[in-house]
Amino acid sequence: MQEPYQNEGIEGLNKLVKVIIAECKNIHTAVGSNLLAPVYKQMLYQALLKKGFFVQRQEPVYAPSDLQQVEVDMKAEFVVENSVICDIKSVDAILPMHKKALDNFLRLSNKPVGLLINFKAPHLKDGMVKLVNNNYKKHF
């Protein structure tokens, strides 16, 4: 398995997060806030690929067990550069369960950062949540 995006350390990871957020803002500006989530997901996926990033879609999530990793019935929508989980929504409001799901993805996959992005927010900055995995918090 590839190590999380660390070729420039935490600074590189922060740059990656900023690029993802910038792409989300570009999409939100271009098409607005009243589309369904699959539209935003595909647009973001294409934008990140165009930038040359390695993007995995519907990445399985595994839980540890005594003898092996067990796949659970959860999939991370996007994992960018094996480091940043992106969960894309188009909902009236981000609910605690959305944040909890992203936190679960981070903990089980041991990825450093997660972004919850609600494209339905009139101002995208109001619809974004960044979560940091507890194992990486000392670096942020």
Q: What is the side-by-side order of every strand in the sheet holding 84-89? A: 55-64, 69-80, 84-89, 113-118, 128-132
19-68 pLDDT tens trace? 999 999 999 999 999 899 999 999 999 999 999 999 999 887 777 666 66
CA distance 39 to 1: 30
Instruction: For residue 85, give the nearest of 37, 27, 133, 22 by alpha carbon.
Output: 133
Q: What is the pTM of this model?
A: 0.86
CA distance 100 to 3: 24
Is 27 in contact with 40 (CB distance < 8 Å)? yes
What was the pLDDT predicted at 29?
96
Instruction: For residue 40, give the nearest of 127, 139, 132 by alpha carbon.
Output: 127
Neighbours of 47 (CB within 10 A): 18
User: pLDDT band at residue 126, thresholds of 50, 70 and 90?
Assistant: very high
61-107 pLDDT tens trace? 777 666 666 666 778 889 999 999 999 999 999 999 999 999 998 98
